[in-house]
Structure 1
C-alpha cells in the first residue's frame, strides 16, 4: 500500500520544507548572502551548505557531498556550492526517477514510463529537475485519466461509481485524478 501511495504523497507534500518561497538550489545559494560564492567567508560558506543540509528534500548524494565539503577546505566548500551541489542533485534526481519508473512499470503507466526512460537516457540534470518539479505530475495525471476512463468500460459498474468517476474526470486536476485513482475509488459505496 505504501508503494501505491508514494506518487500521491509526492503531490501533496509541501514543495519546500525550509519554508522559503523557493527551494535551496545552487543558483540561489549565493542570494542567501549578498556576497558571491568566491568572496564568501568560511562562515558564510558553512551557513549556505547548512541551509542545503537542512532542506529535508536533500537526497543522499547531496547530503554526502555537502558533508564532504564541510569537512574539507574553504575551496572544497566553494566548489560544492558552484558545481558539486548541481552534480549531487542530478544523482539524487536520477535515483528518484528510477524509483518512479519502477512504480510506473508496476502500474503500467505508459506516459510516465516513456518520459522517465527518455530522461534517464538523456542525462540532462536540468531536464530531470524540471520533470520532477512539474512534468512528472502532468505525466502521471495523463496516466491516471486513462486508468479512470477505462473503469467506465466495466458493464457492472454501479451508478455511484460512475458518478464518482465522472466527477473526477470533470475536475480533471492532476491532484483529483491521483486521489481518485489511489484512494477515492475505494471510498465509493453503492
Structure 2
C-alpha cells in the first residue's frame, strides 16, 4: 500500500505540472480538471499512461489547424503543416515544438 500511495502522490504532482505547461491546451486542461475533481490512483495512472498522449495530440492538431488558417504563412510552412496534421501525436508535438521553426520561410 505504501508504493501505491506514493505513486498516487507523484501522479497528482505530474498532472498539476502538466496543467502549468504553456502548451497544455483546452482538451488537456479539461481532462486534468475532471481528474482532479474525482481523483483515484487508477484514473490518474491510466490518464498519464495513455490519456495524456491522446489529449495532447488533439490540442496539437488544433494548434496546427490554426497555423493553416493563417493566410500569411509561407508555402513551405503550409506544406509542412498539411503533412503533419494527420500525423502521430509525436509528429504533431515535434512540429509545434521545433519543426515549424526549421521550415524555410
**TM-score category, normalised to shorter length:** over 0.9
Question: Unaligned 5+ residue runs, structure 1?
Answer: 1-82
Q: Distance in 2 between matches of 1:142 and 1:155?
A: 22
Q: Aligned in 2, Cα 1:108/1:137: closer, same or farther, shift over 3 Å? A: closer
In structure 2, the partner of 1:42 is none
Q: Distance in 1 between matches of 2:11 and 2:52?
A: 12
In structure 2, the partner of 1:88 is 6
In structure 2, the partner of 1:167 is 83
Q: Is 2:60–2:93's contact at 8 Å kept on the other side of the alignment?
A: yes
SS, match of residue 69 in structure 2: coil
Q: Is 2:61–2:85's contact at 8 Å kept on the other side of the alignment?
A: yes
RMSD value over aligned CA atoms?
1.0
Count of equivalent residues: 105
Q: Flag as ranges the 4+ runs of structure 1 deviating above 4 A.
A: none
TM-score normalised over the length of structure 2? 0.95
Question: Unaligned 5+ residue runs, structure 2?
Answer: none
Higher relative contact order (CA 8 A, sep 6+): 2
